[in-house]
Homo-oligomer: A and B are copies of this chain.
Amino acid sequence: MADERELIERIAGRVGVRGEVVTGVGDDAAELANGMVMALDMLVDGVHFRRSTHSPADIGHKALAVNLSDIAAMASDPVAALIGLGIPPDITADDVDEMYGAMEEMAAHYGFTVAGGDITDAPVLILAVTVTGRMRHGVRPVLRSGARLGDRLVITGALGGSAAGLLILDDPLRGDGLPERDALVGRHLRPTPLLSQGHHLADCGAGALMDISDGLLLDADRMARASGLCAEIDLDAVPRAPGVDHVAAALGLEPDLLASTGGEDYALLAAIAPGVALPRDTVVVGRMIEGPPGVIALRDGCDVTPVQLGWEHGHRSGL
């Protein structure tokens, strides 16, 4: 199989954009001329979660949260979600109820509707979620392709928490006695979609915006390529969630690489032009420079870009 970037480029080259569609394959969500955006994410047991460590409510929450994060990255508000549920024989009606309970809780919190979907037999538990959202009046979505030379790259919070939480779920000994254990595991099991931060970044003039689903370096690489630039990331500047260093040390991993390649933090990454005031609660982690499109990771000024930029789930990738 071709790597996922090649595959997506191949698909993008094959499909035409027609009618009311303004932005198609290639961003966090598709955009329609009437101000609607829509995104689809598919979560598969054994790939994006494990029933042994994730409760049905965790799974329902996460499936919806990753999609809402795409809506946040389009600076939009969620309107309706459709849920495709593939269920193996050992899933009970109570499990389904618990999944929908967690999803309905998010719907009530963010003011949207779980509006339908599909249920089918499947060999393993699968959730395919589509969320439709609405751009705020007069605001065009901020695409990942809008970064300009000299822009600062900012993120909305500490990274690595979700990856460290997963490493603890993989082997609970890694979290023994760690005060941040529950917070890290919670970051992994129940990601928070940053909807208001998405609006704030757009209001502050972000030129490019996307969510960090697969790791800062991989997602910065995608933004840089979409914008035809090189993203230079200072690993020293990337804030790490409390406890990440401890978990990294237990595994002999570089904490700065765990934080900047570990996925599923669902923080937002934005490109902000020089001279524009930084949005509140953001941290500058790099800049867009000239060079071959892609990403460079610096530590103490030296290029330490890893081969594996992100924490990809095989071919997992938003189109």
Contacts and interface: CB of A to CB of B under 8 A. Distances in A.
A132 interface: yes
Interface string A266-285: 00000000000000000000
Contact of A89 (B1, B11, B48): B1
Contacts of A17: 113, 115
Nearest to A108: B16
A121 interface: yes
A82 B20 contact: no
A80 B15 CA distance: 12
Nearest to A79: B20
A10 interface: yes
A126 B119 contact: no
A266 to B, nearest CB: 15
A33 to B, nearest CB: 9
Interface stretch (A170-178, A223-231, A236-244, A310-318): A310-318
B113 A14 contact: no
Contacts of A41: 84, 118
B114 A24 contact: yes
Contacts of A21: 79-80, 112-113, 115
A-side interface size class: 35 or more
A121 B315 contact: yes
A319 interface: yes
Interface string A1-17: 11010111011001111
A316 B118 contact: yes
Contact of A1 (B30, B36, B93): B93
Interface stretch (A96-104, A137-145, A295-303): A96-104
A120 B313 contact: yes
A8 to B, nearest CB: 7
B83 A314 contact: no
A69 interface: no
A27 interface: yes
